[in-house]
Structure 1
Amino acid sequence: MTIDDVPGVTFALAVGMGAIHMASPAITPLSYTALAPWMHAGVDHLLNNLLVFTLLGAWVERRLGWAKFLFVSMVMAYLALYLPIVFGYGELSRGASGLTMALTGYAILALLVTFTEQLETLDVGTGEGLFSFGILLVLVYLTVDAWQTVQRFVGVEPRPDGVAVSAHLTGLVLGMVWFGWRMVRYGLTDA
């Protein structure tokens, strides 16, 4: 077991989100600029983000290593919140939803590659079949969630009050672009 086998960055960021929520800093221009991706609008918001972030974050961190994961998590978290403001298609928001959607975008493509590779060598009589089915279920869930985000953004579905749909969509696109960049650089299997 190496340091990269333990999702320490995921754990540290999750604890940090919880600590910032508990400290409940006053929202000022400076605190918002520095802490917006880690601040949440209530316990439900925090728990929803932590659930997705810890599951996908741990998987992505193990896949890529802690240093790359830390860098990408920090960049994606801020870009997902601030790009909509800079380009005028969203408003101020807070929370790690943009980061979780970036992990979702990356995971959808990475799991699709993994799933199709496993189908080629699948032996239904072993545990591989169950594992592949599990990957398929996660893939379907993430894809439906991503599709719902797209529908909310374009107006096919209503935008729920208090949900930063623009940050969600930005994160989703960033995660997919990140996978594409890694695919070009490292190849499809190692993206």
Structure 2
Amino acid sequence: MARARPFESYSVTTGLALVLLLVWLVVSVLASGAGKSVPTYLESQGAAGRILIFLFGPLIHQGVDLLLGNLLFLLAIGPFVESRVGWRQYLLFIALAGYALTVLAYLLGMATVGISGVTHALTGREAGARLGDLSGAIGTSPVETLVVALVFIYQISQLPAGGSIVAHAGGLVLGFLIAVGVATDYLEQNWLEERIQW
């Protein structure tokens, strides 16, 4: 079976982008009605709000600028990863990266929301895959590789201080390590897929 080329079929990436927009709109309307920022509004809801932040933290954004930046990265890099690994492993990777980084930030006492960790993990994974395959077996165009390299370099140059450093740097490192082989054997050989009935 031929591998789909990026941007020919990326329904999961498009769907995720639409979900992010919808969640942001709903939560923003609720927060603005209360006159608070999204995380402040959710935290003011007590235990239920904190549970929502933990469960949906990767889908919640503090502002439209952060949302749009993450959507740009998602739409620039997501189709490459989705076409490489298929939609099941793509969704699994997104979920694992999102929650692993959310838990890590929580354990370090840093509250964080947003899908930055996931978009950075996708970039790290794609950059690592391309670096690990300099022979060209992936069969991508130089333009695709240039897009990935530019996004990777930009994300490294923009690493923030504070709580979101866990999501940003952690995402790049997690994705890169998975791509170059720390956990690739399990993900690429369908180890999880064999154990989970889709």
* TM-score, length of structure 1 as denominator length: 0.73
2:129 maps to what in 1?
110
Gaps of 5+ in 1: 122-127, 153-158
Correspondent of 2:76 among 35, 43, 55? 55
Name the CA distance, whole Å, in 2 between partners of 1:94 and 1:109.
Answer: 25
Percent identity of the aligned residues? 27
Correspondent of 1:77 among 63, 83, 98? 98
Gaps of 5+ in 2: 31-40, 43-48, 190-198
Letter in 2 for 1:38: L
1:124 maps to what in 2?
none
Name the CA distance, whole Å, in 1 between partners of 2:11 and 2:69.
Answer: 20
- Aligned: 1:20 with 2:23: yes
- Report if aligned partners of 2:123, 2:148 keep a CA contact under 8 Å in 1: no
List 4+ stretches of structure 1 deviating above 3 A. Answer: 1-5, 183-187
The structure-2 alpha-carbon separation of the partners of 1:23 and 1:138, relative to structure 1 and needing over 3 Å to count, comes to: same
2:184 maps to what in 1?
182
Once the two structures are superposed, the pairs formed by residues 165-176 of structure 1 within 5 Å of their partners are 165-176=165-176
1:156 maps to what in 2?
none
- Report if aligned partners of 1:80, 1:98 keep a CA contact under 8 Å in 2: yes
- Report if aligned partners of 1:112, 1:139 keep a CA contact under 8 Å in 2: no
Letter in 2 for 1:108: A
Once the two structures are superposed, the pairs formed by residues 1-191 of structure 1 within 5 Å of their partners are 6-24=9-27, 26-27=41-42, 28-86=49-107, 88=108, 91-114=110-133, 116-118=134-136, 131-132=141-142, 134-148=143-157, 152=160, 159=161, 164-179=164-179, 180=181, 181-182=183-184
Instruction: Give the number of equivalent residue pairs.
Output: 165
RMSD of aligned residue pairs (Cα, Å)? 3.1
Name the CA distance, whole Å, in 2 between partners of 1:147 and 1:83.
Answer: 20
Name the CA distance, whole Å, in 2 between partners of 1:35 and 1:186.
Answer: 27
The structure-2 alpha-carbon separation of the partners of 1:31 and 1:96, relative to structure 1 and needing over 3 Å to count, comes to: same
2:46 maps to what in 1?
none
Name the CA distance, whole Å, in 2 between partners of 1:82 and 1:50.
Answer: 22
